A = this chain, B = another copy of it.
Amino acid sequence: MLLKSAIASVLLFSSFAFAEIKMDTIEYKEGSTTLEGVLVYNDQMRGGPGVLVVHDWMGISEDTKQKAKELAELGYVAFLADIYGKGVRAKDAKEAGELAGKYKGDRPLFRKRVLAGLETMKKQARVNKNKIAAQGYCFGGTAVLELALSGAKLQGVASFHGGLDFPSLEKDAKKITSKVLVLHGAIDPWVPVDQVNAFTKALDNAKTDYQFVSYSGAVHAFTNPGAGNDITKGAAYNEVASKRSFQALKAFYEEVLN
């Protein structure tokens, strides 16, 4: 009897600690363009709230897959959106800048691509369509904020070190229905204080429900271990800020997705 329950405990513990996280590649379309996203989920759960994850300027990477895995371990069904198109991934910063620049320079197209990811995620049987959020990193942070500015109906968007420069900010802030969490590196040279102030002012005027968190010592890309540690480059990993921002994200989803 004792042994039996010990075995049961071990099994229970195992299934929790070593939950199998699965990743399914999903092809979808935006207009005539084929995109290739990844659905990331805990195979031992029926489903859960859906979180759209938007990649940084490199495209879907090992780092964004890792972020999605962490969400799946918490019980969320994550969908890695693809903004660039099937097979289109940056091989270096130069290409990344060109790719990201294309979408930052064409916001209607940018929004269409993010929305296509959102709609594809909502069609997945595992996803609870009434509990939806989106989060993104750098370029992807800007992407999910564009999604919110488009008036898309979702419970929350979270930007990690995203750019906060939006061409139709004042006008579109009024359309936001989602709660907004911005996780920002306090000394991010790519997102200067004037941009921050203009962003929060527009959201204040629109009475958007938001939280804006600044982490000291953190620059662009602070959640990305691949970004190195040299803050003079303007982009660098910051373990403390990364952990704190993940705690803030968890609290946010506990509020908006439960």
For window 192-223 of chain A, which residues contact chain B by CB distance below 8 Å?
A: 193, 197, 200-201, 203-204, 207-217
Residues on the B chain within 8 Å of A203, using CB? 216
In this complex, what residue of B is CB-closest to A197?
Answer: B193
For window 148-207 of chain A, which residues contact chain B by CB distance below 8 Å?
A: 186-187, 193, 197, 200-201, 203-204, 207
Contact A213 B216 (CB under 8 A): no
Residues on the B chain within 8 Å of A248, using CB? 248, 251
Q: Indicate how many identical chains form the complex.
A: 2
A24 in the interface, Cβ–Cβ < 8 Å? no
A247 in the interface, Cβ–Cβ < 8 Å? yes
Residues on the B chain within 8 Å of A62, using CB? none
Contact B216 A211 (CB under 8 A): yes
In this complex, what residue of B is CB-closest to A243?
Answer: B255
In this complex, what residue of B is CB-closest to A208?
Answer: B216
Per-residue B-contact encoding for A228-247, CB less than 8 Å = 1, 0 else: 00000000000010001001
